Structure 1
């Protein structure tokens, strides 16, 4: 994906328009003047980073989006098809919401994909960023909720409590996605972060939110689990395969937080090579985060498969027999109907 063609001729207008996906590509700096956010006093040549996620990466965006939508739809269909599995997997409401979040993210991927210049307008730009991050925040909060509360609630908790918690988590995710939504704009047919300095505060808030949800939350889960094991108290939090989800977003939160510190000049990069490495890390972390939309439904399916097989031995024998009879009858109903 991407290319790295050197550019010799450029202007100030071109420097300010070098804003690709999520505006993480830095601008050029010449001599004594700095037209970007980095200051290199002795620079002779412009500092130009490779853009991995440019027009040539459009097939990657489209493929990830299609795989995510298909996988999420298949998991949702499997979870909602058979009420018998609801007893075997009491966490199916949370799993279904995770699949919905993955489907929403997959829908936003082509909206923000570079190369679809004809489809970009301010409304789609804002909607794409809001769906992108709000769905990711919701999935992270749902995984934390499942790890800490859902196993303790068990099958006896009321639907009202589940619905209230779900609405609260999705509402919180929607609010957390507003800063990045308000800081976006369209430039030369690309959906990017606005270059206005007045919106720098919103971008910093967004970076802090990503660092807190994608980095601090999983670290907090691991710390709580280690403390619980050390004290031998309680089953919370519950480790599951769903925690793998954070592997795809943890680098994004770390690198985005570091990039925010560099942009705010809290940290200074001494060389152009360091800036290019940071830009490369941002794009790689972004690509890894995009891949989650195809992997997240598989994690949900794997968790449900394990929960179902773990619950089967605990069911009474009549219930297991009735489940097998129901399955047999559903398979034999079609031939009997045809014979009649």
Structure 2
């Protein structure tokens, strides 16, 4: 969890050689006040935000998966990717209560084996989510801009193989969690046990594992996928602007584009903060003062919580932007005995919309998310 969870903050006090070069002990550096203030802030802020993300996210993703289940596996290519995205988001959210518990006075009470499992589960589903968004954007880019179909409903195995490859790659990227995550007692945090990466010190080897982990996350987990998303959707918007392509296509792009915009709004602040902290800890770009330490800790906590809320927002976007998702959600609720009132215009949405010839690859006009 070093690069994705608030426990990364603990590494600044437990496993950094930089602080040792600045001062000889914690008191002389003035870090005692920082640690106490940061702990108080985390104890209040993290459990509240994580609980909110868990409740909203599990409810929203549960409804999303329920709507997809109502279609009896008659999914478009986009729906298949969204199904996997919903599963990844839900599994990531399931880990949040454990990290919220660690933020309290109880600390990490689940032991080292579960520390590795929870950390790896978080990492796997984080990477899976961003890679799936990249897959969706690449499919949309090829079908709209180049009229080339990467996927076809007549070839579902190719879609499933892509999803399987995403999961396997994400599993591979979680190897550092399986190796380095441990439940350790931290005397600087009132002897609390915390789940953190226990990387070897530089003096014990030639590889700075902590820096390597950071660089891997910055490149593979954010910069590269972000470049793909920006390129694909910039090209799509430019193509749509150049000529008429029908309401169906524009509506579909609006939904998926909303997912990408929300992704950047949620994850960019955390990545910028993490990059600043990385540069600071390895290049001394910022003075090691009490104020700077405390400000950085709080910024990491706030921006990471905002990032994790992203997993709760995807279903909300479908509900507010995706017309067909709302229509099928209400149909599902009515089938369960819920009394739901709809306008005549909304009731006619399902019957008035017909599949367009936009993209055989995704048959996006039939997507539950549109």
What is the TM-score with the length of structure 2 in the denominator? 0.65
The alignment partner of 1:139 has SS state of: helix
Aligned length in residues: 289
Instruction: Find the aligned partners of 1:94 and 1:284 in 2 and give their Cα distance.
Output: 29
Match of 1:240 in 2: 257
The alignment partner of 2:7 has SS state of: helix
1:148 to 124, 138, 154: 138
Q: 1:274 to 1:216 in 2, by over 3 A?
A: farther
Q: 1:84 to 1:62 in 2, by over 3 A?
A: closer
Consecutive unaligned residues of structure 1, counting only runs of 5 or more, are 1-19, 29-33, 317-340
- 1:91 paired with 2:78, answer yes
Instruction: Find the aligned partners of 2:316 and 2:199 in 1 and give their Cα distance.
Output: 38
Match of 1:58 in 2: 47
The alignment partner of 1:269 has SS state of: coil
| Superposed CA offset, 1:46-72 (max 9, x none) | 134332323774343334223322221
Contact 1:179/1:205 (<8 A) preserved: no
Match of 1:261 in 2: 279
Taking the TM superposition and a 5 Å limit, the aligned residue runs for 1:182-221 are: 182-187=179-184, 188-194=192-198, 196-197=200-201, 201-212=208-219, 213-221=221-229
- 1:36 paired with 2:23, answer no
Q: 1:55 to 1:211 in 2, by over 3 A?
A: same
Instruction: Find the aligned partners of 2:28 and 2:20 in 1 and give their Cα distance.
Output: 17
Give, in angstroms, the shift of residue 146 of structure 1: 0.2
Q: 1:233 to 1:275 in 2, by over 3 A?
A: farther
Taking the TM superposition and a 5 Å limit, the aligned residue runs for 1:1-340 are: 21-25=6-10, 26-27=12-13, 36=19, 39=22, 46-47=30-31, 48-49=33-34, 50-51=37-38, 52-54=41-43, 57-83=46-72, 86=75, 90-113=77-100, 114=102, 115=104, 117=107, 119-149=109-139, 152=143, 153=149, 155-187=152-184, 188-194=192-198, 196-197=200-201, 201-212=208-219, 213-226=221-234, 240-243=257-260, 244-265=262-283, 267-269=285-287, 271-302=289-320, 304-305=322-323, 313-315=353-355
Q: 1:241 to 1:62 in 2, by over 3 A?
A: same
Q: Between the two structures, name the one with larger relative contact order (CA 8 Å, sep ≥ 6).
A: 2
* Greater mean deviation of Cα atoms: 60-69 or 287-296: 60-69
Instruction: Find the aligned partners of 2:258 and 2:72 in 1 and give their Cα distance.
Output: 23
Instruction: Find the aligned partners of 1:184 and 1:118 in 2 and give their Cα distance.
Output: 12
What is the TM-score with the length of structure 1 in the denominator? 0.70
Match of 1:320 in 2: none
Instruction: Find the aligned partners of 1:37 and 1:263 in 2 and give their Cα distance.
Output: 11
Instruction: Find the aligned partners of 2:135 and 2:280 in 1 and give their Cα distance.
Output: 33
* Greater mean deviation of Cα atoms: 266-275 or 292-301: 266-275
| Superposed CA offset, 1:158-191 (max 9, x none) | 1110011000011111111222443322123322
Instruction: Find the aligned partners of 1:90 and 1:311 in 2 and give their Cα distance.
Output: 21
Instruction: Find the aligned partners of 1:275 and 1:117 in 2 and give their Cα distance.
Output: 21
Q: 1:177 to 1:183 in 2, by over 3 A?
A: same
Instruction: Find the aligned partners of 1:310 and 1:258 in 2 and give their Cα distance.
Output: 49
Instruction: Find the aligned partners of 1:161 and 1:135 in 2 and give their Cα distance.
Output: 21
RMSD: 3.8
